[in-house]
Amino acid sequence: MIFGMGKGGRDYEDDDDEEDDEEDDLDFILFKGALNENNPDLSANGRLVQAGLMPAKKLISEALARRADTVRIEPKGKFAAVSYLVDGIPFPAAKMPPPAANAIIQMLKLLAGLDITKKTIKQSGGINAEFDEVDHEIRIDSTPVQGGAERLLVRVQNLKEKVETPKDLGFSEELQDKIREVGSSKSGLMLAVGPPMSGTTTVSIAMVRGIDAYMYSIASLADMQGRDLPHIQVFETKEEDDLETSIRRTKRADVDVLFVDPLTDATEAKAVLEAAQSQSFIAEMPAKDAADGIERFVALVKDPKLIAKSLRLVVSQKLVRLLCKSCRHAYRPNPKLLAKIGLPTDTKKLYRAPRPDEDEELDEDDLCEDCGGTGYRGRIGLLEAIELTDEIKKLVLAGADAAAIRAKVRELGMQSFQTDGIRVVGEGKTSLEELQRAFRS
């Protein structure tokens, strides 16, 4: 078992005495207001507060005590399943009756300043909170599902460990220079791409932060969801304006660099590309990796010439787990393996997670206190970056697929997930086994 959670998680209707004992040892989270400042009137929602406040506090507190940064509440017919993500790995946490799950979901929505009367539309918000005397931000995403229920995704950010600058994310000096170059040119589009839950928004914000806000005027048309970026103006839009009109207004206000919402609409993507002739843009879009992002962007816009003209840089991130420094094991690698993966053959040691005997069942008291027995604690992002050089532009104009773009990127020696992954293995930050897991997923 990991973190005291067995295969099926904990049943919500366990013995009351046992739950009382657990509560005595648990420090509860303190909710401190909605990120959007639309703070609810709890007295006007007395029944919901009575049914959902303490269960919601307990659920989030237990998740944080187990180092989870994400909580999912998923309706499963006659019950709702709760799972935690610890360093990106899901663990079952609890099962509960649908009414109990609904009370928690509506309570968290209420605290996040969302409309609890609307259950048929997707809503996003956030809560300021404090846990273990540290400030946190709790991001809430509710999604309607069949049968009138809702699915809830809760993501928690420890503000003491907040990462949002290029240095925080480990951008190379070369990549930072390229971002500054595009920003200072006051033209071109830079895209952050990635699959859900891969930190794409964090990467796009780091790209924004990578441009000197004292030298250039930077503004955002994006939904910042309560984030406050230093020295970056949140540009007020008019309800009747479309994106193209809003962009023109920022241009008249002499904005040099503009951060916009994810590009998933062809019309809006074209508006950005056209405006990128005289203004720098940073945006994001969903994709598997940087090469896949280019292929998908061409398919979305259906104008390879416009993309080749305005798209300058595509950056993607893949998260891998960091080895626990308290229990990682050193070993001497085979020189043939080192040559195969591209590390210097004189590398003296690499590291891996501990491998207990499969027949040996450890008690929880024997598990590493820092990582809970997983062998990993925390995550780091592998980064890849594709610059739209003349060679890459030729592929775009020829309608090349992602595989052809990846092959050219390798030929040109641009930074890839594989090269960055081998680097962090060589530095002892992660293991070859973790790289294999991450690339399979």
Same domain? For 210 and 109 the reply is: no
Contact 393, 387 (CB under 8 A): no
Structure tokens at 27: 């420090």
Lowest-pLDDT range, 62-76, 132-146, 208-222, 343-357?
A: 343-357
225, part of any domain: yes
131, part of any domain: yes
Q: Which residues contact 357 (CB under 8 A, 6 or more apart)?
A: none
User: With pLDDT > 90 as the criterion, what percentage of the chain qualifies?
Assistant: 73
Query: What pLDDT score does 167 carry?
Result: 87
Same domain? For 242 and 389 the reply is: yes
User: Which CATH number fits the domain that encloses residue 109?
Assistant: 3.30.450.90
Arithmetic mean of pLDDT, 4-14: 44
Q: What are the tens digits of pLDDT across the range 397-440? A: 999 999 999 999 999 999 899 999 999 999 999 999 999 999 88
φ, ψ dihedrals at 321, nearest 5°: -80, 145
Q: d(Cα 3, Cα 124) in Å, to the nearest integer?
A: 29
344, part of any domain: no
Query: What pLDDT score does 236 carry?
Result: 84
Same domain? For 284 and 409 the reply is: yes
Query: What pLDDT score does 2 carry?
Result: 35
Q: d(Cα 422, Cα 436) in Å, to the nearest integer?
A: 11
Q: To which residue do tokens 């970026």 refer?
A: 229
Same domain? For 224 and 253 the reply is: yes
Q: d(Cα 289, Cα 145) in Å, to the nearest integer?
A: 29
Same domain? For 278 and 213 the reply is: yes
Contact 179, 280 (CB under 8 A): no
pLDDT reading at 385 higher than 90: yes
347, part of any domain: no
Amino acid at 108: L
Contact 209, 164 (CB under 8 A): yes
Q: d(Cα 236, Cα 302) in Å, to the nearest integer?
A: 30
Q: Which residue has the higher pLDDT, 5 or 189?
A: 189
Q: What are the tens digits of pLDDT across the range 134-193? A: 999 999 999 999 888 999 999 999 998 888 889 888 888 899 999 999 999 999 999 999
Beta bridge partners of 218: 257
Contact 286, 264 (CB under 8 A): yes
Q: What are the tens digits of pLDDT across the range 83-106? A: 999 999 999 999 999 999 999 999
Average pLDDT, rounded, for the chain: 89
Q: To which residue do tokens 């830079």 refer?
A: 190
Q: What are the tens digits of pLDDT across the range 298-357? A: 999 999 999 999 999 999 999 999 999 999 999 999 999 999 988 998 899 999 999 866
Query: What pLDDT score does 363 carry?
Result: 62
User: With pLDDT > 70 as the criterion, what percentage of the chain qualifies?
Assistant: 91
How large is the C-alpha radius of gyration of the chain? 24
Domain boundary among 160, 190, 219: 160
Contact 395, 303 (CB under 8 A): no
Query: What pLDDT score does 196 carry?
Result: 87
Q: d(Cα 3, Cα 1) in Å, to the nearest integer?
A: 7
Same domain? For 218 and 133 the reply is: no
pTM: 0.82
User: Which CATH number fits the domain that encloses residue 231?
Assistant: 3.40.50.300
pLDDT reading at 9 higher than 60: no
Q: d(Cα 136, Cα 439) in Å, to the nearest integer?
A: 30
Contact 68, 155 (CB under 8 A): no
Domain boundary among 160, 181, 198: 160
Domain boundary among 138, 160, 182: 160
Same domain? For 121 and 270 the reply is: no
Arithmetic mean of pLDDT, 66-86: 94
Same domain? For 207 and 295 the reply is: yes
42, part of any domain: yes
Structure tokens at 336: 């043939």
pLDDT reading at 7 higher than 60: no
389, part of any domain: yes
Q: What are the tens digits of pLDDT across the range 159-176? A: 988 888 898 888 888 999
290, part of any domain: yes
For 219, 258, 260, 269, 389, the CA distances from 216, given in Å and listed in that order, are: 10, 11, 17, 23, 25
For 189, 196, 385, 390, 426, the CA distances from 404, given in Å and listed in that order, are: 22, 24, 16, 15, 28
The upper half-sphere exposure of residue 349, i.e. CA atoms within 13 Å in the direction of its Cβ, equals 8
pLDDT reading at 19 higher than 90: no
Same domain? For 194 and 70 the reply is: no
48, part of any domain: yes
Count CB neighbours of 212 within 10 A.
13
Q: d(Cα 424, Cα 435) in Å, to the nearest integer?
A: 10
Structure tokens at 204: 């796009």
Same domain? For 274 and 421 the reply is: yes
Same domain? For 60 and 136 the reply is: yes
Same domain? For 101 and 139 the reply is: yes
pLDDT category of residue 15 using cuts at 50, 70 and 90: very low
φ, ψ dihedrals at 287, nearest 5°: -170, 165
Host domain of residue 44? 10-160
* Number of folded domains that form the chain: 2
